[in-house]
Amino acid sequence: MLPEIPFWVKNPDYDRLDWLNKFLEYMWPNLNKAICATVKGIVKPIIDEQIPQYKIDAVEFEALTLGSLPPTFQGMKIYVTEEKELIMEPSIKWAANANVTIAVKAYGLKATAQVVDLQVFALPRITLKPLVPSFPCFANIFVSLMDKPYVDFGLKVVGIDLMSVPILYRFVQEIIKDQVANMYHWPKTLEVQILDPAKAFDRPVGLLHVKVIRALKLKKKDLLGASDPYVKIKLTESKLPSKQTTVKMKNLNPEWNEEFNFTVKDPLTQILKLHVIDWEQIGKHDKMGMNEVPLKDLTPDEPKLMTLELVKKKDTNDAQNDKSRGQLVVELTYKPFKEEELPKTFQQTKTLVRAPDNTPDGGGMLVVIVHEAEDVEGKHHNNPYVRILFRGEKRETKKIRKTRDPRWEEEFTFMLDEPPINDKIHLEVYSSSSRIGLRRPKESLGYIDINLSDVVNNKRINERYHLIDSKNGRIQIELQWRTKD
C-alpha cells in the first residue's frame, strides 16, 4: 500500500503544494502528449540501432500514454545554504493508469509486452547549482533518492500478467529497488548539465600582461615648462578600476618600464585603452593623447612590442588626429588559461581552477567574491555598495539603489607574490546618494575585517559575516586562494 498521509501532515518542515498539483492537473493532458512524444523520439533511434544484432525485425510502440492521472506532490522541503544553490526534497506519489504496449517482430512472429497500473512513490532530492545570472539561472541539476523508491506495475506478456506470480513479483520489486538505489541513492547523484560552465560562471579566461615602456616626442600641454605625463590604462568590459603609471615630472620623453596585469573574460571583444595624461597639481589633468588595442589582435602567449601613435580620440574622421601627439611604446602579452585550469563542471570549480602560469613562484591569485548582504540600513538613504581595501588597493562593487538586501555577485582578483598568510582584507558597505545638496551624501552601513590565513590554508571559504557597526546587517563573502600547483 502507498502511504496515504501526505508528507506535509507527518513532517511540519514540508510545505503543501496544492497550487502545483492544480497546475499539473490542468496541464497534464498536454504534458502527457509532449512527454510521450519526447520519449519516442529518444528511444526509437536507440532501439533501431540495437535490434540488428539480435536478429529482430522491428520493435514498435503500439500504445504509449501515461494515463489521465498526473503525479501528485505530497509536500516539499527546501534547504537554505550559504552556497549558490537551491535544494528541494519533494515527496512524489503517482498512481497512474498508464498504458505502454511494445510489439516485437521477429521471424514472422509478433509478441507484445504491456505495462499497466503503474504506481510510484519516491523521495528525491533535487539540487539546482550553481545559481547563475544566465537563463534558466542554474547551470546543473543534481538528482538523488533519499530512500529506496516504491515501484509497482503490471506486466502482461502475450496477455498473461507476470506480476500476478508472487515469487516473480517480489523478485522484480527487489531488483528494481536495488538497481535504482545503487545508481541514485544519496549521496550518489544523476547530474544533468544545463549550461556550459565556462559561460555560466563568467570567469576569467586569461591574463593580459601590460608593460608600459616609454613615450616619445610628447607635445607639452603647459605654456610654461614641460609636461608631467603618466599613463592611465583601462580594459573595457571590466569592473576593475583603471590602473596608472607613476608621474614623470617635466619630461616629454619619459621612461616607465612599469608592468600591470588584467584578467580577461572575452579576448574577442575586450579592448585595452591607454591614455597619456599631463598631471596637474591644481585643476583638471590634461589629456595628451590616447590609443586602443583590441585583444583579438594579440597572439596568445607571444609578447608583442608596439609603438602606438597617440591621437586625440579614437575617431578616424577627426581632422585633429592628423596632428602628431607623440608615441607610446608598450609590450602586451595575452596568456590564456590552460584547459585544465578552466572548470568543466560545477564540482571542479572548487578544486581545479588554478592561478595562471606566469604567477610568481610561491605566489598566487586571491579571489574575492562579494555575493550579497541583508538588513543593511542607512539613516538617510539605502543605495549600498561594497568597498574592498587590500594592501593599498581599492575596489568597489556597483551601487544598488533603494534596497536593504542587495545582491552583487561580483568577483575581484589580486595577483600576489606570496601567500597573504598574515594579511587582513577590509570590506565596508557604504550607501551614497546622487542628490545635490544632501548633507550626508555617503555613509557607512558596517564593515568587516577578514584574516586571510584560513583562506590560504583551506583554499576556499564562503561565509556570512555580521557587519561591525550595524544593528542586524550581514554580508556573504567568498574568498579563494589559487596557486599554480
Give the separation between CA 366 and CA 460, rounded to whole angstroms: 10
pLDDT the model gives residue 11: 73
pLDDT the model gives residue 357: 56
- Do 201-336 and 359-482 come out as alike in CATH topology? yes
Domain ranges for the chain, please list them: 7-195, 201-336, 359-482
User: What nine digits make up the cell of 254?
Assistant: 619619459
Give the separation between CA 246 and CA 257, rounded to whole angstroms: 10
pLDDT the model gives residue 427: 95
CB atoms within 10 A of CB 177: 17
pLDDT the model gives residue 14: 81
User: What nine digits make up the cell of 211?
Assistant: 608593460
Beta bridge partners of 263: 207
Residue 135's contacts (CB-CB under 8 Å, 6 or more residues apart) are none
User: What nine digits make up the cell of 51?
Assistant: 535490434
pLDDT the model gives residue 413: 86
pLDDT the model gives residue 188: 80
Give the separation between CA 330 and CA 298, rounded to whole angstroms: 13
Q: In what order do the strands lie in the sheet with 229-235?
A: 243-244, 229-235, 271-278, 286-294
pLDDT the model gives residue 280: 80
Low-confidence ranges of the chain (pLDDT < 50): 1-2, 341, 343-352
Place of cell 603647459: 222
Grouping H, G, I as helix, E, B as strand and the rest as coil, residue 332 is: strand
Backbone phi, then psi, for 37, in 5-degree steps? Answer: -65, -40
User: What nine digits make up the cell of 409?
Assistant: 555577485
Q: Regarding the domain with residue range 201-336, which homologous superfamily does it belong to in the CATH classification? A: C2 domain (2.60.40.150)
CATH topology of domain 359-482: Immunoglobulin-like (2.60.40)
Q: Tell me if 357 sits within 8 A of 484, measured CB to CB.
A: yes
Of the chain, the end-to-end C-alpha distance in Å amounts to 56
pLDDT the model gives residue 368: 92
Across 217-311, where does the E strand assignment appear? 229-235, 243-244, 255-264, 271-278, 286-294, 304-309
